[in-house]
């Protein structure tokens, strides 16, 4: 499962976000531009018993094109896969990455929604959808998507931090504080404590502000 994680720092604080589907594979293949230009003529045609293998080969080809920055040809290969296999989640995930890289979040959302329609338990898709909505400034929708990702898998601390960021920007400070408290229980990092301290200050909760300040000092 490709899992966003795409972790980045949000400006103005200690905020992290998870970037879409950070690659874990060690593939070092580099596609030269001349090879990328020829790629559309190299589609496999999905015949006979080799259909599954051919789908895998075209997905690998699309990923190489994506890494090479040959976006138009990459999109064509992913769409060709979907034409022959309309329920292929990997192709939709690839398109979501491609569209986000191109600065086209609306198309990225559509691709992620296709994944969720195929598998509503795909927590990575929900998480990535939360990220894309945050990039679009739709923080309530972003928070909802992060909440769904957390419902499916409650073990990833950064998702609670991402949720807190969206809730903060949606003016739900209490919800943001609760999300950060859960993140700290799983992974007590100084930056998360400082984020929570800032939230308590905005809420005007002096008791909790003082408590967190003491806990931060104990971390040093």
The helix/strand/coil state of 16 is strand
pLDDT in tens, the chain (220 residues): 334 333 333 333 333 333 333 333 323 222 233 333 333 333 344 444 578 888 899 899 989 998 888 889 999 999 999 998 999 999 999 999 999 999 999 999 999 999 999 999 999 999 999 999 999 999 999 999 999 999 999 999 999 999 999 999 999 999 999 999 999 999 999 999 999 999 999 999 999 999 999 999 998 6
CB-based contacts of 99: which residues, under 8 Å, 6+ apart? 105, 107, 108, 111
Exposed/middle/buried for residue 205 (C-beta within 10 Å: 0-12, 13-18, 19+): middle
The helix/strand/coil state of 173 is helix
> Which H or E run contains 18?
strand 15-19
Residue 53 has what pLDDT? 84
How crowded is residue 209: how many other Cβ atoms within 10 Å of its Cβ? 18
Residue 24 has what pLDDT? 34
CATH class of 6-23+101-219: mainly alpha
Residue 70 has what pLDDT? 87
Minimal CA–CA distance to 162: which of 204, 202, 22, 148? 148
pTM: 0.75
Query: What are the sequence ranges of the domains in the chain?
Result: 6-23+101-219, 31-86
């Amino acid at each position: 499962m490709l899992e966003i994680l795409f972790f980045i720092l949000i400006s103005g604080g200690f905020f992290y976000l998870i970037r879409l589907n950070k690659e874990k594979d060690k593939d070092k293949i580099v596609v030269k531009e001349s090879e990328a230009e020829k790629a559309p003529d190299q589609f496999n045609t999905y015949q006979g018993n080799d259909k599954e293998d051919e789908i895998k080969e075209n997905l690998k080809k699309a990923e190489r094109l994506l890494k090479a920055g040959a976006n138009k040809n990459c999109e064509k290969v992913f769409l060709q896969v979907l034409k022959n296999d309309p329920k292929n989640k990997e192709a939709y995930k690839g398109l979501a990455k491609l569209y986000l890289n191109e600065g086209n979040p609306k198309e990225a959302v559509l691709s992620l929604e296709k994944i969720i329609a195929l598998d509503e338990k795909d927590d990575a898709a929900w998480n990535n959808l939360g990220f894309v909505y945050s990039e679009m400034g739709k923080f309530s929708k972003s928070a909802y998507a992060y909440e769904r990702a957390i419902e499916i898998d409650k073990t990833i601390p950064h998702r609670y931090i991402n949720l807190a960021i969206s809730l903060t920007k949606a003016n739900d400070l209490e919800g943001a504080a609760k999300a950060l408290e859960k993140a700290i229980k799983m992974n007590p990092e100084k930056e998360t404590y400082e984020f929570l301290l800032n939230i308590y200050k905005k809420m005007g909760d002096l008791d909790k502000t003082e408590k967190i300040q003491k806990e931060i000092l104990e971390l040093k």
